């Protein structure tokens, strides 16, 4: 877990000062105990329903993180062929993988069919036609679930809301029954389920339950049409605490789901992401300069928006704390910013921090959508990643080198 021990922030008992000395900064650091605890919270809450809990790989796709969840028995929700390759490399059986996403290519479909994934979450009529053709060409049958857009407002940030009519995701609820009938007529598809995902960082489960209620109405209508489904996929989206949010009670949510599925012969599938990894990780960074101005003070650190995009992209809040607590040092109100040549390059604004130049800072709740959204903007090497397990830190992604960044562009014209 992540807490202060003897005035120094530690991850599973390992001081972040030690990790910085060994692996440098910026660096992502994850707690294996926190990963396990988050997964077990879902497994325990939903135990009576025996769900397939598919970790949403887009939240954190590091191979060691995926391997950790695979060993716990997780399935995986993927949105690309690259994510499928990662999941298989991490040791997960393909039949625990669901493939979501609006733009699956033929090559990705072929890859998934050859691997033998659990299900394709199909998001359009044209995708159905393409998948049917690809499966027929390979002499296979594709297991299909339709992602239905229930037009339920998740009441979250518009960039991570996915269940409204004007979102690009899914098949409109009013059209879904007809699309299912069309899908059932395609000879190379097996219609096995229904899927829904309305958004991310939800702190109220009521929209999720409302969406499930709509799906169950549709499931009953499909049964009247002779289309009997095997599973219902309720997606993910449960929020975490970044600042003052109150995360949903998973057990209470599970009870509401169980009440609605009682008496139905439906396998439950779910796709949590952020809630499994978000608060299990920090971004460790060092203060390069304290820049004190007349109207504004800045802590310029060695991490930047290319390492953690969420503050710049969503104006998202991440807690930022000194790694070492110093008695008697007055707090200074600063914007915590990186060295990238953009005014949008910030990790936090107006933070009261008792720090000095050269100190280490920890950006909290950085385990989800941190490393996976990172880039090489300004030709910056992406950060190292470290997993702490049983009191031992292990490098699970080494820091990129400048030679590696240039390697794919070496074919220069000769003078």
Q: Which residues are catalytic?
A: 341
Distance of CA 197 to the CA centre of its chain: 13
Q: How far apart are CA 272 and CA 189, in angstroms?
A: 27
Sign of CA dihedral 391, 392, 396, 397: positive
Does 342 appear as a known binding residue?
A: yes
Q: How far apart are CA 225 and CA 243, in angstroms?
A: 48
Does 310 appear as a known binding residue?
A: yes
- Please give the sequence-ordered ranges of beta strands (E in DSSP) within 22-124, or none if there are none: 27-31, 52-56, 75-78, 97-99, 119-122
User: Is the distance from CB of 42 to CB of 253 less than 8 angstroms?
Assistant: no
Does 385 appear as a known binding residue?
A: no
Structure tokens at 19: 């990790």
User: Is the distance from CB of 15 to CB of 25 less than 8 angstroms?
Assistant: no
Who's near 22: CB < 8 A, 6+ residues apart? 393
User: Is the distance from CB of 402 to CB of 379 less than 8 angstroms?
Assistant: yes
Does 273 appear as a known binding residue?
A: yes
Distance of CA 412 to the CA centre of its chain: 38
CA distances from 267 to 143, 145, 177, 261 (A): 14, 13, 20, 9
Does 81 appear as a known binding residue?
A: no
- Residue 394's H or E segment, with its range, is strand 392-397
Residue count of the chain: 415
Does 272 appear as a known binding residue?
A: yes
DSSP secondary structure of 116-155 = T-SEEEE-SHHHHHHHHHHHHHHT--EEEEEEEE------
Name the residue among 144, 161, 145, 141 with its Cα closest to residue 153. 161
Strands 75-78 and 52-56: parallel
* Residues of each annotated binding site: 237, 271-274, 310, 314, 342, 369
* Residues of each annotated binding site for pyridoxal 5'-phosphate: 237, 271-274, 369
* Residues of each annotated binding site for substrate: 274, 310, 314, 342, 369
């Amino acid at each position: 877990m992540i807490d202060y021990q003897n005035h120094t922030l530690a991850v599973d008992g390992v001081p972040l000062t030690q990790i910085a000395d060994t692996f440098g900064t910026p660096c992502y650091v994850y707690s294996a105990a926190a990963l396990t605890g988050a997964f077990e919270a879902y497994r325990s809450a939903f135990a009576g329903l025996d769900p397939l809990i598919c970790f949403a790989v887009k939240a954190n796709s590091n191979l060691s993180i995926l391997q950790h969840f695979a060993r716990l028995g997780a399935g995986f929700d993927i949105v690309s062929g690259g994510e499928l390759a990662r999941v298989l490399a991490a040791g997960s059986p393909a039949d625990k993988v669901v493939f979501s996403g609006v733009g699956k290519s033929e090559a990705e479909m072929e890859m998934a069919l050859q691997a033998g994934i659990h299900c394709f979450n199909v998001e359009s009529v044209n995708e159905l036609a393409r998948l049917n053709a690809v499966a027929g060409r390979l002499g296979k049958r594709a297991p299909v679930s339709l992602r239905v857009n229930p037009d339920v407002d998740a009441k979250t940030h518009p960039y991570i809301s996915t269940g409204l009519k004007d979102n690009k995701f899914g098949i409109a609820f009013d059209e879904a029954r007809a699309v299912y009938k069309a899908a059932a007529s395609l000879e190379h598809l097996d219609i096995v389920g229904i899927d829904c995902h309305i958004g991310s960082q939800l702190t109220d489960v009521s929209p999720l339950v409302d969406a499930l209620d709509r799906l169950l109405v549709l499931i009953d209508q499909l049964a009247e049409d002779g289309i009997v489904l095997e599973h219902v996929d309720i997606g993910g989206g449960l929020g975490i605490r970044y600042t003052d949010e109150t995360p949903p009670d998973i057990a209470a949510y599970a009870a509401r789901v169980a009440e609605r599925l009682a008496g139905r012969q439906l396998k439950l599938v779910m796709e949590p992401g952020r809630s499994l990894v978000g608060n299990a990780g920090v971004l460790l960074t060092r203060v390069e300069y304290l820049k004190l101005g007349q109207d504004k003070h800045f802590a310029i650190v060695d991490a930047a928006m290319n390492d953690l995009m969420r503050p710049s992209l969503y104006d998202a809040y991440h807690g930022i704390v000194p790694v070492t607590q110093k008695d008697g040092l007055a707090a200074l109100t600063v914007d915590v910013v990186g060295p990238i040549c953009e005014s949008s390059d910030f990790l936090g604004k107006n933070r009261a921090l008792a720090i000095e130049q050269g100190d280490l800072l920890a950006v909290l709740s950085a385990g989800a959508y941190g490393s996976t959204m990172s880039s090489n903007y300004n030709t910056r090497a992406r950060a190292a990643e470290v997993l702490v397990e049983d009191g031992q830190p292990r490098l699970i992604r080494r820091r990129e080198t400048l030679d590696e960044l240039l390697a794919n562009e070496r074919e220069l014209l000769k003078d």
